[in-house]
């Protein structure tokens, strides 16, 4: 859901999260953060490309939308202060609001409990590439390494799976949040070019999600 919380989309109304500050947008177990101040992290900088100090920004707290990632220009359009999120690839691009180190905060569930309490599902151990539409929340991501879960146990591997859905709906269906946290380095592209970003989360359980595959789609 990170791109949908960037002011570049929100200010134009091109985000499913526009106009929803203070509203419940996710399961109460979900807290999402963008933090450009994490020492030595891939997406961190001391100041953004507009000269504003970066900060730790709580975007969603216990399911409630608390804020956005804001640059100066779109902040003026929204009557909001910059959060140090104005970024660009280089001087050839104008800064826009961008993610830095964006993640879902750890919860209280252990990995073992999440698996044991899942009768049937898909464990996506590693994700591949994909795409997100901030206007609609729609996404699709390939599963690089996945396994079926049967009767609370990890079973046979699954190949060629793709996760399909809407981010704003998926975060409402998260019903277990692990006590771990893993961040993955990447490069995010947008109108202001390519910038380094970290995205991450604990192990989470989504109660319902469409899983597509080579032999057709199925509900997982």
Within-domain flag for 29 = yes
Mean pLDDT, residues 166-195 taken together: 94
Within-domain flag for 84 = yes
**Among 132, 133, 131, 163, which residue's Cα sits nearest to residue 146?**
163
Residues 6+ apart with CB under 8 A from 106: 177, 178, 179, 180, 181, 202
pTM greater than 0.85 = yes
Q: What is the pLDDT, as a whole number, of residue 135? A: 84
Within-domain flag for 216 = no
Inform me whether the pLDDT recorded for 215 exceeds 60: no
Residue 213: band (very low, low, confident or very high) from pLDDT cuts 50, 70, 90: confident
Per-residue pLDDT tens for 27-78? 999 999 999 999 999 999 999 999 999 999 999 999 999 999 999 999 999 9
Within-domain flag for 218 = no
Domain of 56, in residue numbers: 3-208
SS3 (DSSP) at 163: strand
85 secondary structure, DSSP code: -
Inform me whether the pLDDT recorded for 107 exceeds 70: yes
Residue 214: band (very low, low, confident or very high) from pLDDT cuts 50, 70, 90: low
Retrieve residue 51's tokens. Answer: 């000269």
Inform me whether the pLDDT recorded for 217 exceeds 70: no
Within-domain flag for 15 = yes
* Distance in angstroms (rounded) separating the CA atoms of residues 102 and 43: 9
Within-domain flag for 13 = yes
Within-domain flag for 98 = yes
Within-domain flag for 197 = yes
Q: What is the pLDDT, as a whole number, of residue 176? A: 98
Our count of domains for the chain comes to 1
């Amino acid at each position: 859901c990170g791109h949908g919380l960037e002011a570049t989309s929100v200010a134009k109304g091109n985000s499913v999260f526009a106009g929803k500050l203070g509203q419940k947008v996710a399961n109460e177990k979900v807290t999402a953060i963008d933090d450009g101040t994490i020492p030595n992290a891939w997406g961190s900088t001391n100041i953004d490309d507009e000269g504003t100090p970066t900060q730790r920004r709580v975007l969603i707290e216990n399911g409630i939308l608390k804020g956005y990632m804001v640059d100066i220009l779109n902040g003026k359009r929204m009557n909001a202060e910059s959060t140090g999120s104005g970024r660009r690839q280089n001087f050839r691009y104008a800064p826009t609001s961008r993610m830095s180190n964006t993640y879902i905060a750890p919860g209280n569930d252990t990995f073992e409990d999440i698996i044991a309490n899942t009768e049937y599902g898909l464990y996506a151990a590693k994700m591949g590439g994909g795409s997100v539409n901030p206007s609609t929340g729609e996404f699709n991501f390939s599963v690089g390494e996945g396994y079926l879960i049967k009767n609370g146990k990890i079973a046979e591997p699954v190949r060629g799976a793709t996760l399909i859905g809407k981010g704003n709906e998926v975060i409402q269906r998260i019903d277990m949040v692990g006590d771990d946290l893993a961040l993955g380095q990447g490069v995010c592209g947008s109108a202001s070019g390519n910038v380094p970003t970290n995205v991450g989360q604990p192990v989470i359980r989504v109660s319902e999600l469409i899983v597509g595959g080579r032999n057709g789609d199925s509900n997982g």
